[in-house]
Amino acid sequence: MIIFPAIDIINGQCVRLVRGDYATASKVAEDPLETARSFEKAGAEWIHMVDLDGAKAGYPVNTEIYQKIAQQTGLKVEVGGGIRSMETIKAYLDLGISRVIFGSAALKDPKLVEDAVNTFGSGKIVVGIDAKNDMVATEGWLETSDVDYITLAKKMISVGVTTFIFTDIAKDGTLSGVNLDQLRALRDATAGTGARIVASGGVHTIEDIIACRELGLYGTIAGKSLYQGTLDLHEAIEAADTLTIRPMTMDDYDNAYAVWVACQNGLNNLDDSREGIARYLARNPHTSFVAEDNGAFAGVILCGHDGRRGIIQHMSVHPDFRRRGIAHRLVKAALNALKKEQINKVLLVAFKKNAGGNAFWESEGFTLREDLNYRNIALADMVRFDPDYQQ
In 3D space, the residue among 278, 260, 282, 284 whose CA is nearest the CA of residue 340 turns out to be 284
Which residues of the chain are modeled with pLDDT < 50?
A: 372-391
In 3D space, the residue among 345, 351, 284, 360 whose CA is nearest the CA of residue 310 turns out to be 345
pLDDT in tens, 291-314: 998 778 999 999 999 888 888 888
Q: What secondary structure does DSSP assign to 311-363, as a single string?
A: EEEEEEE-GGG--TTHHHHHHHHHHHHHHHTT--EEEEEE-TT-HHHHHHHHH
How high is the pLDDT of residue 162? Answer: 92
53 is catalytic: no
Strand partners, 169: none
Cβ neighbour number for residue 243 with a 10 Å cutoff = 18
The torsion angles phi and psi of 145, rounded to 5 degrees, stand at: -90, -175
Residues of the chain with CATH 3.20.20.70: 2-239
Of 53, 130, 208, 272, which is the active-site residue?
A: 130
Of 8, 53, 172, 252, which is the active-site residue?
A: 8
pLDDT in tens, 68-114: 999 999 899 999 998 999 999 999 999 999 999 998 788 889 999 99
Separation between Cα atoms, residue 56 and residue 17, nearest integer Å:
14
Residues of the chain with CATH 3.40.630.30: 243-383
How high is the pLDDT of residue 208? Answer: 95
How high is the pLDDT of residue 325? Answer: 76
How high is the pLDDT of residue 356? Answer: 58
8 is catalytic: yes
How high is the pLDDT of residue 324? Answer: 59
For the chain, how far is it from start to end, CA to CA, in angstroms?
24
How high is the pLDDT of residue 19? Answer: 67
DSSP-derived 3-state class of residue 64? helix
How high is the pLDDT of residue 110? Answer: 92
pTM over the 0.95 mark: no
How high is the pLDDT of residue 354? Answer: 56
Say if CB 67 and CB 38 are below 8 A apart.
no
pLDDT in tens, 218-263: 999 999 899 999 999 999 999 998 889 999 999 999 999 999 888 8
Say if CB 176 and CB 143 are below 8 A apart.
no
How high is the pLDDT of residue 26? Answer: 78
The torsion angles phi and psi of 243, rounded to 5 degrees, stand at: -80, 135
How high is the pLDDT of residue 368? Answer: 62
Class of domain 243-383: alpha beta
How high is the pLDDT of residue 377? Answer: 41
* CATH, domain 2-239, list 3.10.20.30, 2.60.40.60, 3.20.20.70, 3.30.360.10: 3.20.20.70
Strand partners, 198: 165, 219
